[in-house]
Each structure stands twice: as C-alpha cells, then as structure tokens.
Amino acid sequence: MSTSTRTPASTTWTLPAVPEAELVTLAGLVAFALKPGDTVTLAGNLGAGKTTFARAAIRALLADPLAEVPSPTFSLVQTYETPRFPLAHADLYRLSDDADLAELGLDEALATGALLIEWPERAADELAAGRLEIGLSETASGDARRVCLTGTGDWPARLARIEAAWELISAAGWSRALVHYLQGDASPRRYARLVKVLPPPLRGRDGEGGIAEQPMSGGHPPNPFPPPPTTPHAGEGSASALLMDSPRMPDGPPIRDGLPYSRIAHLAEDVRPFVAVGAALAGAGLSAPAILAQDLERGLLLIEDLGDRVLGAEIANGADQLPLWRAATDALLALRKVPAPERLAMGGGHHHLPLYDRRAMTIETELLLDWYWPALLGTPCPAEARAAFAAGWNAVFDRLLSLPTGWVLRDYHSPNLIWLPQRPAPANVGIIDFQDAMRGHPAYDLVSLLQDARLDVPAAIEAELLDHYCNAATAAELDFSIADFRFAYAALGAQRNTKILGIFARLARRDGKPGYLAHIPRIWGYLARDLAAPDLALLRAWYDQHLPAEVRGRRLAP
C-alpha cells in the first residue's frame, strides 16, 4: 500500500514494495509526465534499481522497448534525441570534483531538454531546486524495491497525477505494462499506450527458452520485454489500452457576458462528456472506445485501444481515399437515426448536451478577426469591418438556427477517425474525439470530414459523398430537405473554416506551434468552395472586400 505526504512546497509518495516489472511501468508514467526543463534524480545503493528505472524511462521516451540504453558510468553523460525533447542521462558515480561537473554541460542540456541523474548526491548543491527525486532501496521480498518519490518546484501537482494514474491502472490490472507516450495534437489532453507484457521464461540448461533473468543492477541486463503488438486493440483480445490524462481545465478570463471562451463555445471542461457521449455512440452501433477504468474527479480514463490506423495515416500509406471517407460518411448516416437528447445518462447523473447556439458560432467566427486578421495585416480589425462581418454572419445564423438539429460531434475528421476493417459497418470507423459534442445541424460533421483541415479532400470526392449522404438521407427520411442541408453544409463549412483560420493563427502566435500555418492555403481553398454557394453571396462579398485573393496568399509570420 502506498503512502503520500504533502506540504505546500513538496509532495512525497512512497511505495513499499514494487516488483521489477511494475517498476518499469512506474518509470514509464514518470516519462509520460516529463517536459523540457525537468530534472529527475535517482538515488540508492548499488543494485537498488536506478539503472533499471532509468533504462525503462528512456525507452518509454524513445517509444522503443528494445532501444540500446548504455550505462553512462564511464562517459558520465549519455544524450538521446527523443520524439518529444532531448534527454541527458548522467551517472555521477565517478565524478571527482565540481570542475568535472561543470564540464558535463548539464545546464545546457536542461535549457532544451530534461535531465535524468543517477548518484545525484555527488553534486547535490549544484542541482535545480525544483525536481523529482526518486529513491530506491532493496526489500526483503525478492526483486521488489521500495520507491520514494518526492516532488518540489512544480512537481507536487504532477507527482499527484502520476500517483493517481498508478492507482487507476493498478486497480484495473495494468500495473505491469510498457508505457508509450502518444504524440498529441492541439488539445491539452495527453495519451499513453499501455501494453501488457510478460517476462520471457528463464533459459534452461540446454539453452532453450528465453533470455536468462537477471537481477536489478548497474550493469547491462537485456531488455526483458518484447516489443508491443503491431495492431493493439484492447477491446479485441490483445493486451493494450490507452491512458487518457485530461485534468479539469480552469476557466480562462471572462471575455463576454462575464464568461470565458470555453463556456461560450461549449468546450468540455472534464472527462464526463467523453464518458457520456461515448456511451451514446456505442449505443448507436458506432465504435467509440470502451471505458475500462475511470477516475472522473481527477480526469483519468483507461480506455479501449482502437489502434493506429487513423484515416490520415491510411492515406499516407497509399490507401484509396474514397472508400475510407465513404465509410466515415455512412457512420454519420447511421448516427442520424439516433436523436441527440438534451440530457445524456451517465452513471448516477447526467450530462447536458449543449446547443450549438448563436453565441457559440459567433465567438468561433470572430477568431478570424481576433487572431488571423492582425497576424496577416499587422493591425486590429477596424470597427466598421467587424460590424459588417457580424451582420453578414447573423443573417446566416438566423437561417441555420431555424433548421432541425441532430448530433454535432465537432471534431469528426481524419486525425480522430480510425479504420477498423475487421468490424462491420458502421462500426468499421472508430471515433476517438467527441467530448465537445453538441446538438446542432448534422451537416457540421460531414463538412468536417469532407473539408479536412489537415489533408486534401479533392472536390470530386467531396461532391460525390455529399450527394451520397443527401440521397441516403432522402431515401430514409420523408422530411429530409436537400436544399436546406446543402445550405447548412456550405454555411457551416464557411463558419468552421473561418474559425480554423483563427485557431491556426492563434496556435502559431500565442502557443508557439507554427506548423499549423502550413494548412492555411488548404483552409482558404475549402472556404472558397463554401462561399461560392448562392445563399452566401453577401458573406462572400465581405471576404472579397476585406481579405481579397491577393491578401489570402500572404504567409503569416510565426
């Protein structure tokens, strides 16, 4: 049983007996929490497990369970370029004096990456004050180790989340798993893949069997774990799952009517909407990840692993786009058969499914004026242009809000859709991002799919699948209006692409993520398709006047 103590300045969490296989998992969770500028120290006697822990953490950062991780006992420092940031692994056992420490360049390494230090007591006075200290010691129970983790600086809150994640996965039977960080997107949520593995059998006298088991030491024991399965799907018999780390997001500053942007735009603030909407999608026969374990208060979920075959990756690997996008379109048609209720049952309570109302649509379109306009033109948007923009959009919103509503999953595009050909339609498309779902016009999700912000959807494919959707809905529903749907498709496409221009400019300028600017030309191409609709002529005139073609082609400064 673990114990925790907390003060305003530090948190200490102690696990009295951690077997080696679980120590590897714990190291993976620490690696999952790391960020540039972090220092993690490993203290303990020879053979206490410092190098075992360090190797497991480094392999987790490298996302390679078989990576060669040499001990830095003689070189003192070994550096790694991980997918997330550089890491320096130092062993100070042979450090002779402070001059040698200065020559290691640890400060330089810390400026761009993270530090993992064994034998930190040899240079205790020189280390950063805010760090994660991990002490390991032997116990009387075989290969188990006592582990004491103490966080100072900004580590106490992060250590508390590591502890909470450990409790969740341990209770669910996942305390012996490799932990691989999954590269995220613009979302604050983080994901790690957990892959259950078993040590190979001991080598027999005749040389048969697996690699011989070796105790924890400072030497070079072989990696006792095989690589993760190539197609891990926890819900289908293999041993993998995803850990979702999504702490409740604090409200931002009030920007209108005393409310922050997240409240006005109806963005999920914790994991409860994911659980509630996911259950509704599964009830409709669609593939949303099953919930394997949950800690709703602390924003931690262990969910079914639907694998890596996201639609974007399938296209990059040479798959034909049309069949994949048709399957995703058919999933949306299946969702039309299920009403989008105002209240979704969730355990003993419920989740309120918000309406995609005028205020939400308005504040999203205004991202263009607040972020993209000044990034492109170098000045704030003038009041006259802003007023004309609002008037044009309000006329469009008047008509949109008069139309019937259904599900709006909101982020229904290639990064969030997974190809599951082994499942029957419509479950052959996995859906992994839906916590911001609302009640609104169903055309929103179709335009999200057919005007994908991150990859090209040819106009011919878009036209074919829009026709396919309208024809199928007309055949199934007596009151389906093709004219109204096509208006909503163009209007919501223009609204969504306008919003995305603002979001990508904000990601580049405020959040230091300039990579999103590469998608700007594609977004303008989609927006031009939408604004070509006859019903949007007045709105098109505003864009042509204030953001004409010769201006749209300019590059935004990161």
The CATH number of whichever domain residue 490 belongs to comes to: 3.90.1200.10
CB of 414 closer than 8 Å to CB of 454: yes
Identify the pLDDT of residue 1.
72
User: How far apart, in whole angstroms, are the C-alpha atoms of residue 345 and residue 549?
Assistant: 48
pLDDT confidence of residue 194: 96
Residue 203 DSSP class: P
Q: What would the pLDDT profile of 147-185 be if each residue is shown by its tens digit?
A: 999 999 999 999 999 999 999 999 999 999 999 998 765
Q: Which residues face 407 on adjacent strands?
A: 439
Domain of residue 117: give its range. Answer: 3-183
Q: Are 449 and 325 in contact (CB under 8 A)?
A: yes
Of 167, 183, 199, which one is at a domain's C-terminal end?
A: 183
User: Looking at the 3D structure of the chain, how many domains does it have?
Assistant: 2
358 exposure class (CB count in 10 Å sphere: 0-12, 13-18, 19+): middle
Q: How confident is the model at residue 224, as a pLDDT?
A: 36
Give the Å distances, CA to CA, from 144 to 2, 525, 546: 14, 59, 68
What phi and psi, each to the nearest 5 degrees, are found at residue 275? -65, -45
Number of helices (H), then strands (E), belonging to the chain: the values are 19, 19
What are the DSSP calls for 281-316, one per residue?
HHHTT-B-PPEEEEETTTTEEEEE---S-BHHHHHH
Give the number of other CB atoms < 10 A from CB of residue 543. Answer: 21
Residue 273 lies in a domain: no
Q: What is the CATH number of the domain that holds 122?
A: 3.40.50.300
Residues of the chain with pLDDT below 50 are 200-238
The answer to whether 11 and 97 have CB atoms below 8 angstroms apart is no
Supply the pLDDT for residue 185: 56
pLDDT at 98: 60
| 476, two tokens | 């199934």
**Residue 41 belongs to a domain:** yes
Closest CA to 208 of 218, 200, 216: 200
Cα pseudo-dihedral 184, 62, 131, 99, rounded to 10: -140
DSSP 173: T
Q: What angle do CA 312, 315, 317 make, to 5 degrees?
A: 110
In this structure, is residue 211 part of a structural domain? no
Residue 186 confidence (pLDDT): 54
Q: Are 183 and 190 in contact (CB under 8 A)?
A: no
pLDDT attached to residue 222: 36
Confirm if 358 and 460 have CB atoms less than 8 A apart: no
> Could you tell me if residue 93 is inside a domain?
yes
CA distance 289 to 306: 7
pLDDT of 227 reads: 38
First to last CA, the chain: 49
Res 97: pLDDT: 66
Of 168, 183, 198, the last residue of a domain is 183
Distance of CA 358 to the CA centre of its chain: 28
Domain edge (last residue) among 142, 160, 183: 183
User: Is residue 21 in a domain?
Assistant: yes
pLDDT tens across 511-529, in order? 888 999 999 999 999 999 9
pLDDT at 99: 57
Q: Which residues pair with 242 in a beta bridge?
A: 193, 303
The answer to whether residue 319 is domain-embedded is: no
Q: Where are the alpha helices (DSSP H) in 35-144?
A: 50-62, 98-103, 106-112
In a domain, 136, yes or no: yes
Does a structural domain hold residue 221? no
pTM for the whole thing? 0.88
Question: Looking at residue 206, what is its pLDDT?
Answer: 31
